[in-house]
Amino acid sequence: MLVNATKMLRDAKKGHYAIGHFNTNNLEWTKAILTTAQELNSPVIIGVSMGAAKYMGGYRVVAAMVREMDKGLGITVPVALHLDHGNYEAAKACIEAGFTSVMFDGSSLPFEENVAKTKEIVALAHEKGVSVEAEVGAIGGTEDGITADGEVADPEECRKIVDLGVDFLAAGIGNIHGIYPEGWTGLHIDVLEKINEATDYIPLVLHGGTGIPDNQIRDAIVNGVSKINVNTDCQLVFAEATIKYCAEGKADPTAANAAKGYDPRKLLKPGYEAIKAKVKEKMELFGSVNKA
Ligand code: 13P
């Protein structure tokens, strides 16, 4: 059954571990995330960006796919379906479409507008039992074609947003989406400590989970991070495994004719397995195994 993300993240905060948020892009991705969570007895958050949802045919398609696959595969661990970096319209649409959790990302707006819109989304979401993530201080890097410089959030602004009743908060601490550039100076754990205190210890979210050294991930969890977003890592291993399969000639219609290696269920299997291995590695690092 799909649940909102509030309880799983509060439990994670209390237990000093983090829940993985893995972005989905299609059916293979969704199945890999769900089955791995079940095998490891771990709660999980399936994240969907506005661009990925559009690619798959819209928010209702995604909600139906995740909900029905969760049932069809007999998944019993807690699963939240979460909009990633949604604008105001997307957050409203996902609340209506049956998502159990939404992120309203008003970090690119003037702060007062971020406050006003976050407040509206919190009211709409909570009426339907949907959890809300807000953002203060933009995350750097590029996602869905939108590039932002990494910002470090102001703990005072974080407190003001949290006071609106949001369930968990993404606060920039030098983290970046995608591959970290050469010379990246690392997470600002000192600022994270201050944000944790200023926000009364609600669960905090670390975006840009790909490429952060393991020791910094552990430091972030110790200092209040309970949700870690991972996208690029799964994309990289999926691409690598698929390229390898093709390079070995396994999809070649003449050479592989007898084995029908071009059948999409075979062609996409190495990538599917690679995502499963990456999700497992992250769940073990984040400490969410056997926490369902
Ligand atoms: P990465 O693509 O860097 O793993 O970041 C994912 C993310 O933060 C999604 O919101």
The model's pLDDT over 96-120, given as tens digits with 9 standing for 90+, comes to 999 999 999 999 999 999 999 999 9
Contact 24, 47 (CB under 8 A): yes
For this structure, is 149 an active site residue?
no
- The closest residue, in CA terms, to atom 5 on ligand 1 is 208
Q: Taking Cα atoms as reference points, which of 224, 220, 36 lies closest to residue 46?
A: 36
DSSP string, 211-260: T--HHHHHHHHHTTEEEEEE-HHHHHHHHHHHHHHHHTTTT-TTTTTTTT
C-alpha torsion 270→272→274→276, nearest 10: -140
For the chain, 292 residues long, the average pLDDT of each consecutive 10-residue run is 96 98 98 98 98 98 98 98 98 98 95 97 98 88 60 92 97 92 90 96 96 97 98 98 95 76 95 98 98 98
Q: φ, ψ for residue 93 (rounded to 5)? A: -65, -40
CA–CA distances in Å: residue 87 to residues 33, 49, 51, 108, 118: 25, 10, 12, 10, 10
30 CB within 6 A, ligand 1: no
Ligand 1 atom nearest the C-alpha of 234 is 4
Nearest atom within ligand 1 for CA of residue 207 = 8
Q: Compute the distance between CA of residue 38 and CA of residue 66 in angstroms, rounded to an integer.
A: 14
Is the C-beta atom of 51 inside 6 A of ligand 1?
no
- pLDDT in the model for residue 187: 94
Closest of 248, 253, 292, 291 to residue 270, by C-alpha = 248
* Ligand 1 pocket mutation pick from 229, 233, 237 by most atoms within 8 angstroms of CB: 229
Nearest to 266 by CA among 237, 287, 246: 246
Ligand 1 atom at minimal distance to the Cα of residue 206 = 8
Q: Reduce the DSSP state of residue 153 to 3 states and report it.
A: coil
CA distance 196 to 207: 16
Residue 125 contacts residue 91 (beta carbons within 8 Å): yes
Q: Which residues does 117 contact at the CB level (< 8 Å), separation at least 6?
A: 88, 104, 106, 109
At 254 the pLDDT is: 82
Dist. CA 229 → ligand 1 center (Å): 5
Phi–psi pair at 111, nearest 5 degrees: -55, -45
Q: How far is CA 271 from the centre of its chain?
A: 19
| CB of 13 sitting under 6 A from ligand 1 | no
**Secondary structure of residue 261 in the 3-state scheme:** coil
Q: Tens digits of per-residue pLDDT, 227-269?
A: 999 999 999 999 999 999 999 999 988 865 568 899 999 999 9
- For ligand 1, atom 1, name the residue with the nearest CA: 208
Expressed in angstroms and rounded, the spacing between residue 165 Cα and the centre of ligand 1 is 24
Angle at 218 between CA 228 and CA 232, to 5 degrees: 35
Q: Is 43 exposed, middle or buried (0-12, 13-18, 19+ CB in 10 A)?
A: buried
Ligand 1 neighbour 49 (Cβ under 6 A): no
Testing ligand 1's pocket by substitution, the residue of 142, 212, 228, 230 carrying the most ligand atoms inside 8 A of its CB is 230
The catalytic residue among 11, 70, 84, 154 is: 84
* Residue 83 contacts residue 63 (beta carbons within 8 Å): no
Q: Check residue 137 and give its pLDDT.
A: 82
In angstroms, rounded to a whole number, what is the distance separating the alpha carbons of residues 276 and 34? Answer: 9
Q: Cα(250) to centroid of ligand 1, in Å?
A: 31
pLDDT of residue 139: 76
Helix ranges (DSSP H) in the chain: 6-15, 27-40, 50-56, 59-72, 88-97, 111-127, 155-162, 189-198, 214-222, 232-247, 264-267, 269-286
Q: How far is the CA of 209 from the centre of ligand 1 (A)?
A: 6
As a whole number of Å, the end-to-end CA separation of the chain is 13
